[in-house]
């Protein structure tokens, strides 16, 4: 990272991967999902969930899936509940990566209310924080083992409103990385901002993605393209 002069340069050179329907062409996608991977993972790995959505009944031919890649597989170095300054400038660069992915989809003519934002673990924290900072009516938000970024007591006076955006927050009650209290706080903040929040806590479960979450996301996707 030595010699990088602007936050955006940290992740800006990384690729944006695509799967599913094309964003343009003779039969372009009707909707899109922006998918953000976790620490130590990759855009290719998170795109693998698209196949699981199809197996669970989603009409995958209607959907484009896009996933930004983090430099060195990590969006920011410290835990998501560390003081925000300790995760800079990586955090700002990571948030810009999410914004570029959303802008890429919107540039293809897909409106925000037909875009689902999904992230897992570090990516879930990133997606949720970006959505709160850019609140509007999205097609959906799927926070899989994550929560809003920053230490306890971080002000949550975000501007904007979700205007009925469905939001899924799924997490284990014993997740070693995501305290249950932060999941509850995140749910309360999103609900206060006008999201329709569905919080699902899985007892004694590992840090991972669960079949119940996959089914809930497919239902969310069906609502977008109905």
pLDDT in tens, 104-161: 999 999 999 999 999 999 999 999 999 999 999 999 999 999 999 999 999 999 999 9
Cα-to-chain-centroid distance, residue 109: 20
Residue 204's region, left for phi above 0, alpha for psi from -120 to 50, else beta, is left
**DSSP state, residue 73:** G
Query: Using 50, 70 and 90 to split pLDDT, how confident is the model at 58?
Result: low
Local confidence band at 28 (pLDDT 50, 70, 90 cut-offs)? confident
pLDDT (0 to 100) of residue 57:
62
List, for residues 193-202, the tens digit of each pLDDT value: 999 999 999 9
| Residue 116 and residue 31 in contact, taking contact as beta carbons nearer than 8 Å | yes
Provide the CATH number for the domain formed by 8-225 in this structure. 3.40.50.1820
How many residues are listed for the chain in this entry? 226
Q: Which two tokens stand for residue 212?
A: 């119940």
Q: According to the model, what pLDDT value does residue 182 have?
A: 98
């Amino acid at each position: 990272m030595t010699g990088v002069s602007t936050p955006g340069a940290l992740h800006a050179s990384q690729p944006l991967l695509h799967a599913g329907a094309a964003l343009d062409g003779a039969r372009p996608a009707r909707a899109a999902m922006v998918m953000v991977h976790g620490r130590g993972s990759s855009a290719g790995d998170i795109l693998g969930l698209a196949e699981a959505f199809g197996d669970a009944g989603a009409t995958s031919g209607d959907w484009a899936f896009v996933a930004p890649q983090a430099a060195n597989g990590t969006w920011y170095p410290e835990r998501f509940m560390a003081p925000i300054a300790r995760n800079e400038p990586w955090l700002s660069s990571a948030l810009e990566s999410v914004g570029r992915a959303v802008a890429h989809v919107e540039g293809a003519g897909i409106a925000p209310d037909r875009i689902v934002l999904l992230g897992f673990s570090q990516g879930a924290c990133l997606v949720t924080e970006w959505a709160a900072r850019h609140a509007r009516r999205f097609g959906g938000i799927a926070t899989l083992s994550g929560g809003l970024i920053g230490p306890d007591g971080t002000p949550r006076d975000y501007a904007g409103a979700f205007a009925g955006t469905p939001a899924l927050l799924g997490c284990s009650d014993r997740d070693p990385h995501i305290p249950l209290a932060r999941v509850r706080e995140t749910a309360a903040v999103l609900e206060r901002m006008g999201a329709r929040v569905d919080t699902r806590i899985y007892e004694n479960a590992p840090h991972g993605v669960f079949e119940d979450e996959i089914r809930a996301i497919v239902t969310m996707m069906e609502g977008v393209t109905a």
